[in-house]
Structure 1
Amino acid sequence: MGDMFFYGTLCHRPLLECVLGDEREGVQISAARLPGYASYWVKSQSYPMIEPLAGGHAEGLLVRGLSERAIARLNFYEGGFSYCIEEVTVEYSGEFARADVYFPQAEQSKGEPWCLEDWAKIWGPVTVIAAQEVMQDFGIRSAAEIAQRFGSIRSRAASRIRAQDAAPTTLRGAAVPSDVRLHKASRPYADFFSVEEYELTHRRFAGGESAVLSRAGFVATDAATLLPYDPVRDRVLLIEQFRVGPFARGDAQCWSLEAIAGRIDPGETPEEAARREAQEEAHLTIGALHPVFNYYPSPGALSEFLYSYVAIADLPDDAAGLGGAVDEGEDIRAHVIGFERLMALLDTGEVQNAPLIISALWLARNRDRLRAGA
């Protein structure tokens, strides 16, 4: 049995319970503090750091009676993030105890004093959902592998949070949790995307329940798309880039004409993602955002959910050019074309990208209004 002191996110009880799993039975948890230290937000990040401070103390939890497997689960969760374990003396209920603590090894920039309650309001739910996916790989993948794809895991978790904001049910039937029963789930592949396989049953329109069905879902993160439009010049900006989807299909033309697009990062709104991607992909600062539609492009198997916008922008001739985030392997060319040319590209089939087609048709419907307000 072992004892550990936590000063950061693992003080959030739902997260700690998720990481411990069944090994949480029998452990004793007490409020405690570590004298001679203080905890702070890591600057511009969503997690804390700890460092020595004369006369200070870091508030946290003392968790006692941890089994070897419980400690292994904790080490797996924390193991990919450059932490080392050191033994310290902590104070709890007027007594002192020895306990192990995760101390960061990498140098970090100190922000404001750490506040667990503030963190939990913003990051608690998404971190717990991300931890559920992480801990499903305990004993299967290494902590280093998890750390490499943790950004994608958190993005998928943030998508699950947004999915709880359900759309209307005025024509379709309103579902309740008991309408679908999950019998078995597995994740045979997980990296930037993941593939999940299910055995499930669901309610039938005629009444009763379906037979057990085997289904697979390609799990991608939510994304924002943006079609910049200059109502004065009556122009749009399109981007062109290589796409692996057409390549995998065997399409000879693997470069696609598209709207600006990118995944929505955890802690980011769809609108913020759209503006960030406009800068990254086309070095473009945009004005007012006009929502187009929010939709699943292919709900038969793909979890990806898109938030599409048309944005007001200034598009002179030199707005075209090269862009993209080099560190993400992006190689992007921007085209500035007139509205009529855009419609012609749809008619000839040269545009084969669904978000661009949807946004272009929305623009055709609302173009006169946007031009009148320019």
Structure 2
Amino acid sequence: METVFLYGTLCHLPLLSVVLGRPEAALDAAPARAEGYRVDWVAGESYPMIRPAEGHVAEGLVLSGLDAEARARLDYYEGGFGFRRAPVTVTTAQGPAEAAFYAPRGNGLVPGAPWRLADWAARWGELCVLAAEEVMARYGEVPPQQIARRVNRIRVRAEARRKARSPSPTTLRRATRPDDIALRERREPYAKFFAVEEYEFRHRRFDGGMSEEVNRAAFISGDAATVLPYDPARDTVLLIEQFRTGPYARGDSECWSLEAIAGLIDPGEAAEETVRREALEEAGLEIGRLHKVYAYYPSPGAKSEYIYSFVAEADLPDSAAGLGGLLSEGEDIRAHVVNFTRLMELLESGEIENAPLILSALWLARHRERLRAAA
């Protein structure tokens, strides 16, 4: 049996419940403190760090009497996020006790502001619980080192699941109820930048019964956001062009694609923040007022990807065209400034064959006169 001192995100009981695989009511956690330590945010990150600091106290929880399974689950989770066990002396209501705590590997972390659990939970708690569900679903199947390499992708997918919890209209389609899907098995045969998940399940039929068991697979990725910059004074838009693997894999005669600016939504980021960030990264462009186009699944039969599309008001002189993209992400992007008539010609000829850009261009065609009048 072992005692573990928790000082950071695992003091959030919903997260600890997922990691240990136990209901919150069964968690035997008690307040504790480690003198001579302090807990700070890691600068620019969404998690804390603990470090020696004379005259300071790190507040947290202790878990006592952990069995081998509980220790293994904690080691798996913390190992996947790059932490290791180290000894520490803590003070509990019963007095001093020897314990272990999880310390970050290496010394390259830069401390930020003092850590407060309530601040973290308000912004990151739900997302991290969802990420932990994916991590712990791989417990016993995938080594923690492999989890560590996929942490960013796991968090992006957790952000997508968090957004997916928002209610959607069901005025015509069938509303999903908790007992409508009976999952027997879920497998993950591939997981790198993207992932593939395979399911064995039954689902509710329209006649009220349950279907026979079916096998289905889905291509798993995070949510994305796109933006078509539009200058209502000049009546011009900015399009970007880049090489795309999809057309290449299909055997398309043309592998360069005309698109709206786009990017994956980072953990904790709103779609509106994503498109402003991506406009700077891909085209060096500051965009103004955003107009929501649609939010949609581009291919719901096989992909989990969900896209938020916008049109943004922007200043688009001819000089806005040029080369851009982040070399660190392997991007090679060319921006074009074209007038609205040319945009429609490209759409009708089939040279634009990218779904988010098609939807955004058609939305702009419907709302263009209103935007120009307002400008």
State TM-score, norm by structure 1. 0.96
Structure 1 vs Structure 2 CA RMSD: 1.7
* Matching residue of 1:244: 245
Name 2:19's counterpart in structure 1: 19
Map 1:73-112 → 2, pairs under 5 A: 73-104=73-104, 105-112=106-113
* Corresponding residue of 1:218: 219
Structure 2 distance, partners of 1:146, 1:49, is 20
- Would the aligned equivalents of 1:280 and 1:325 in 2 still touch at CA under 8 Å? yes
Alignment of 1:127-138 (within 5 A): 127-138=128-139
Q: In 2, are the aligned partners of 1:196 and 1:219 still within 8 Å (CA)?
A: yes
- Equivalenced residue count is 374
* Unaligned stretches of 5+ residues in structure 1: none
2:182–2:203 CA contact under 8 A, matched in 1: yes
| SS of residue matched to 2:210 | coil
Give the drift of 1:144.
2.5
Counterparts of residues 1-374 of structure 1 (less than 5 Å):
1-21=1-21, 28-104=28-104, 105-374=106-375
Shift of 1:215: 1.0
Query: Using the alignment, how far apart are the partners of 1:220 and 1:327 within structure 2?
Result: 21
Identity %: 58
What letter corresponds to residue 154 of structure 1 in structure 2? R
Question: For each residue in 1:204-250, what CA deviation from the matched residue of structure 2 results, as whole angstroms up to 9, or x when unmatched?
Answer: 22331211111111111111100001111111111111111111111
Q: State the Cα distance separating 1:279 from its structure 2 match.
A: 0.6
CA contact 1:290–1:309 (8 Å) conserved in 2: yes
Query: 1:236-270 deviations in whole A, cap 9, x for unaligned?
Result: 11111111111111112111110000011111101
Amino acid of the structure 2 residue aligned with 1:85: R
After superposition, the C-alpha distances for 1:93-145 in whole angstroms (9 at most, x for unaligned) are 04111001122233322222111111111111110111111122223333222
Secondary structure at the aligned position of 1:347 is classed as helix
State whether residues 308 and 355 of structure 1, in contact with CA within 8 Å, keep that contact through their aligned partners in structure 2: yes
- Stretch moving more, 198-207 or 271-280: 198-207
- Range 285-294 or range 93-102, more displaced: 93-102
Q: Letter of the aligned partner of 2:215 in structure 1?
A: S
- Between stretches 272-281 and 64-73, larger displacement belongs to 64-73
Q: 1:365 & 1:151 partners in 2: Cα distance?
A: 38
SS at match of 1:15: helix
The answer on whether the counterparts of 1:27 and 1:65 sit within 8 Å (CA) in structure 2 is: no
Report if the CA contact (8 A) 1:38-1:57 is conserved: yes
Q: Closer, same or farther in 2 for the Cα pair 1:343/1:188, shift >3 Å?
A: same
List, as ranges, runs of 4+ consecutive aligned residues in structure 1 with deviation greater than 6 Å: 23-27
Which deviates the most, 248-257 or 74-83?
A: 74-83
**Shift in Å at residue 69 of structure 1?**
3.2
Distance 1:195 1:131 in 2: 18
**CA offset at residue 40 of structure 1?**
1.0
Contact preservation (8 Å) 1:26, 1:65: no
Match of 1:69, SS? helix
Change (3 A) 1:24 1:291: closer
Q: 1:345 to 1:304 in 2, by over 3 A?
A: same
**Structure 2: unaligned runs, 5 residues or longer:** none
**In the alignment, residue 67 of structure 2 is paired with which amino acid?**
S
8 Å CA contact 2:81–2:147 kept in 1: the answer is no
Which shows bigger deviation, 16-25 or 272-281? Answer: 16-25
Once the two structures are TM-superposed, the CA of residue 190 in structure 1 deviates from its matched residue by 1.4
Alpha carbons of structure 1 residues 80 and 106: separation in structure 2 relative to 1, 3 Å: farther
- C-alpha separation between the residues in 2 aligned to 1:126 and 1:168? 23
- Would you say the 8 A contact 2:159–2:267 is kept in 1? yes
On the 8 A contact 1:38/1:58 being kept in 2, the answer is: yes
Deviation at 1:273, TM superposition (A): 0.5
For the 8 Å contact 1:23–1:67, the answer to whether it is kept is no
